[in-house]
Amino acid sequence: MPEKSIHSIFEEFKKLKVLVVGDVMVDAYIWGSADRISPEAPVPVVKTKRREYRLGGAANVALNLHALGAVPQLCAVIGQDPEGDRFMERLAAIGIDESAIIRSQSRPTTVKTRILSGYQHMLRIDSENESPLEHGEEEAFLAKALNCLKETDVVIFEDYDKGTLTKSTITRILDGARQLGIPTVVDPKRKNFLDYKGATVFKPNLKELKEGLKLDDDLETLLEISQAAKKLREKIDIEEVFLTLSEKGVMVATSGEEIHIPAHVRSISDVSGAGDTVISIIAICKALDLNASFTAKLANLGGGLVCEHVGVVPVDTVKLIEEAEKYNIITSL
């Protein structure tokens, strides 16, 4: 069948609506200089130069989807607090639909504050409540998510173990998507790792894979990784396991094939947010039913590009297209 150009594929991305459910947060940065040690304790004194607030977690996935041309619908829970106000202001400024965001009276907006001197990451302070949603908030969250399914091409579960996603909410959203024939893509964490039975694509990294399957041995070789991926796919009935392997690249395992794409050599500044870019690319490629090889190559490029920046940032689509053309990434459909 004829090959599609990378430009035509990105044009098709613009037709997609993507539902992102899960944990959102504010990624805060305090940038400064550390020129002396505190007289109060043997720690550096950081003299603040500027502060920056970015959308994080599932919200960064929405940012990546927006950058890639798709239309994201974000369904999540934040606090009724100043940090939540800041979160909503940033969503509105970018133009991302905020109608499925729930404001909670009982839990704060998750904030991860990073303190940096120059480009040296010195400390991170987390403000959060990791307990499951209260019953009323859970039902409101589910109602929003299930309603959004009616106009969705693919669903992303963005799980950061912050309490928004539970076994119950996961099962009900998966069932709703399955009934409508909508593919589901999962970025998992430890607590709910085995609760995504029947999802379309499951994207853990090596640490998550090892912890989720309770493996004692390190996964060092591609053969060991492949065997673990097969075990996972069979254990929770996943169509496709998409593993991010850090410096080893990515691996995709289905019932019919296994693909390994090595990482490209880059100047790595920060790996934060790379998984958000990867899951976004996987989801929109899956919505268009693009093949696994093309998806893996494009996601591998996108994840690598964001690692060249300090802090959590969405992918630069212009650079991604340039690299896709450079490496001749095309797909036959």
Secondary-structure breakdown of the chain: helix, strand, coil percentages, each rounded to the nearest 5: 40, 30, 35
**Structure tokens of 147?**
């309603």
Torsion angle (degrees, nearest 10) of CA 130, 208, 61, 320? 160
Q: Say which of 35, 276, 289, 316 is annotated catalytic.
A: 276
> Is residue 276 among the annotated active site residues?
yes
CB atoms within 10 A of CB 234: 10
Give me the sheet containing 44-57, strands edge to edge: 44-57, 24-37, 111-117, 120-127
Between CA 275 and CA 187 the distance in angstroms is 8
| Range list of β-strands (E), 41-198 | 44-57, 71-79, 101-104, 111-117, 120-127, 154-158, 184-187
* Positions marked active-site: 276
